[in-house]
Amino acid sequence: MATRSRSQLLLDLKSDAYDLLVIGGGATGAGIALDAASRGLHTALIEMGDFASGTSSKSTKLIHGGLRYLKQLDIGLVRETGTERAILHRLAPHLVIPEKMILPLIEGGTYGKWSTSFGLKVYDILAGVTGNDRRKMLSKNKTLELEPLINDEVLKGSGFYAEYRTDDARLTIEIIKTAAEYGATSLNYIKATDFGYDDAGKIIAVECMDMMTEEKFSLRPKSVVAAGGAWVDKLRKKDNSLKGKRLHHTKGVHIVVPKEKFPLNYTVYFDVPDGRMMFAIPRGRVTYIGTTDTTYKGDLGRIVATKEDAKYILSSTKSAFPSIDLTMDDVISNWAGIRPLIHEDGKSPSELSRKDEIFISDSGLIAIAGGKLTGYRKMAERVVDKVIKDIDSDVGRSIKSCQTKDIFLTENALKSDSEVKALIKDLEISIESLGLDTYFAWYLVTNYGAVAKSILNEIVNYKNSSEIALTRAELAYCLANEFVCTLSDFYVRRTGKLYFEIQNIELTKSYIIDDFTAHFGWSEKEKSKYVADFEREYKDATTYYDQEFA
């Protein structure tokens, strides 16, 4: 079912009275909006950029339980995130996909044989892992049989266990769409510019600006939550409540290479020479590798990969996979993002806790920061519990307990791995009849779930080659259902093409620009602006700078 138009949503946002306004449209903010709306709170969400345009499109794209936290004896975090993996897989099996992982055991590595065996066993118990997903300890020969690219000179064996891969941005937009089904009004490109207060110093208004038109307006919700990720401290500072704990920004960079240049069979979680660990993850036609973990003090509005970042990842990869001789010329794309961690004196970026923290100011502003993508649902539950505690007597109606454990995250949700695989197989027949690679069946289903079939059926509306027609059909769906406003929204956050199918962009861009122009009635000036904005994002994803932007 198509969403309301942006103008309709904006009219609703400005005219309705809300119990809760969420500032920030990443996974955490989206999760809060869904949790609150499904409990019965009249909820709105605003995001100054596109949904998931910050950290929630720049992660390692894994829903994982955090094996490293077991090593740090953070049992509670392992148990919670392990449990959440299973819940999210059940709620969106096409987006949260089982992924077998190899943890190589090497001489002098982070994990020893017995500690790994015991740790993974405890990990399985805490996370409730069952059946074939339970961990196995493999010999050196068996490890190399599964993944022959691993450095055999230092390899002693491996742990073989299960995690889940996702597309963080698509997961976020599906949460936003599901929140809308429960009555939440969510709008991208709306910036919170200031707060208004009563005589007692309590927030009674949020001043806003529509970033598309520069129109200014005011909202007067009963409660306000700041879930702006890396920007949370800026909101706390605006509220004069930035006291005590604060954020520590660390930058994570991932690079993408063609699958034929790095033909992994499985995801590998490997040691690097400086004592950290890194992922190499096969995905469709590419393999991506990351991440860096360095303190970041640069421009939050333009986070880029440097030559130093790329060289670090390439040299780390070479140490673990010596037969793979990757160069900068092999790297086809990258993404760089910020982790909004909680600062702890004396700790390096890699040592900082990934736990979330909730801050409640004297003005009533509730802010949340830190945390992991895997834990967004529980983070949302904790925040909404506090919101309800504050405004329960003002709402005047019964508010439910948390419902999100049982709310499927997509339209006509697929219910299991077997349904996902069956739909992919079904679509492969249609895909082949169009002269397309069967890869596109996998791509469509793991992006859109059951909706993939209807998108494929729309190809007949376009008189182009099949891949161009398919991309235009995707855009038509996203324009009608997924709050798309710009080229970057489509090519980066809704489809991931900038990272995982970059060759598609040159093939389809002129048609996509024309379709955007026709849909929104862009003037030449507007078209030039949006094209330039996308070209900058494209440049940042394909360029390695000498230094970060100040």
Instruction: For residue range 267-324, list pLDDT tens digits in order.
Output: 999 999 999 999 999 999 999 999 999 999 999 999 999 999 999 999 999 999 999 9
Which residue would you say has higher pLDDT here, 478 or 113? 478
Rounded mean pLDDT of 386-393?
80
> 352: which 2 tokens?
């900082």
**Percentage of residues in the chain with pLDDT exceeding 70?**
96
Average pLDDT over residues 156-177: 95
- Helix, strand, coil tally for the chain in percent (to 5): 45, 20, 35
Residue 130: is the preceding peptide bond cis (ω within 30°)?
no
Rg (CA), the chain: 23
- Domain 6-55+169-246+353-406, second-level architecture: 3-Layer(bba) Sandwich (3.50)
Q: Supply 471's token pair.
A: 């991309």
Maximum Cα–Cα distance across the chain: 72
pTM of the predicted model, to two decimals? 0.96
DSSP string covering 352-399: S---EEEEE-TT--EEEEE--GGGHHHHHHHHHHHHHHHHHHHH-S--
Binning pLDDT at 50, 70 and 90, where does residue 505 land?
very high
CB atoms within 10 A of CB 291: 25
Looking at residue 291, what is its pLDDT? 93
- Which among 395, 396, 410, 402 is positioned nearest to 376, based on CA atoms? 402
- Identify the band that residue 70 occupies on the pLDDT scale cut at 50, 70 and 90: low
Percent of the chain past pLDDT 90, that is, above it, reads 81
Fold (topology level) of 417-542: Helicase, Ruva Protein; domain 3 (1.10.8)
For 363, what's the count of Cα atoms within 13 Å in the CB-facing half-sphere? 23
- CA 494, 500, 502, 505 dihedral sign is negative
Looking at residue 346, what is its pLDDT? 75
Q: What's the per-residue H, E or C state across 120-184? A: HHHHHHHHCCCHHHCCEEEEHHHHHHHCCCCCCCCEEEEEEEEEEECCHHHHHHHHHHHHHHCCC
Contact 368, 227 (CB under 8 A): yes
Predicted confidence band of residue 162 (pLDDT cuts 50, 70, 90): confident
Helices (H), 412-465: 417-433, 439-448, 452-457
Q: What are phi and psi of 127, to 5 degrees?
A: -90, -5
DSSP conformation class of 410? S
The pLDDT of residue 355 is above 90: no
**Which residue in this structure is represented by tokens 């002098």?**
108
> 333: closest CA among 286, 301, 272, 283?
286
- Is the backbone of residue 276 left (phi > 0), alpha (psi -120 to 50) or beta? beta
Q: What tokens appear for 20 in the block?
A: 């809760």
Name the CATH superfamily, with its identifier, for domain 95-165+248-348: D-Amino Acid Oxidase, subunit A, domain 2 (3.30.9.10)
Measure Cα distances from 221 to 41, 210, 374, 465 in Å: 11, 18, 29, 49
User: Which tokens belong to 347?
Assistant: 């700790």
- Specify the amino acid at residue 435: G
Check if the beta carbon of residue 187 is closer than 8 Å to that of residue 180: no
The residues spanned by each domain of the chain are 6-55+169-246+353-406, 95-165+248-348, 417-542
Determine the distance from the C-alpha atom of residue 191 to the mean position of all C-alpha atoms in its chain, rounded to a whole number: 20
Residues 6+ apart with CB under 8 A from 322: 151, 153
Residue 220 has pLDDT above 70, yes or no: yes
- Report which secondary-structure segment, H or E, holds 269: strand 267-271
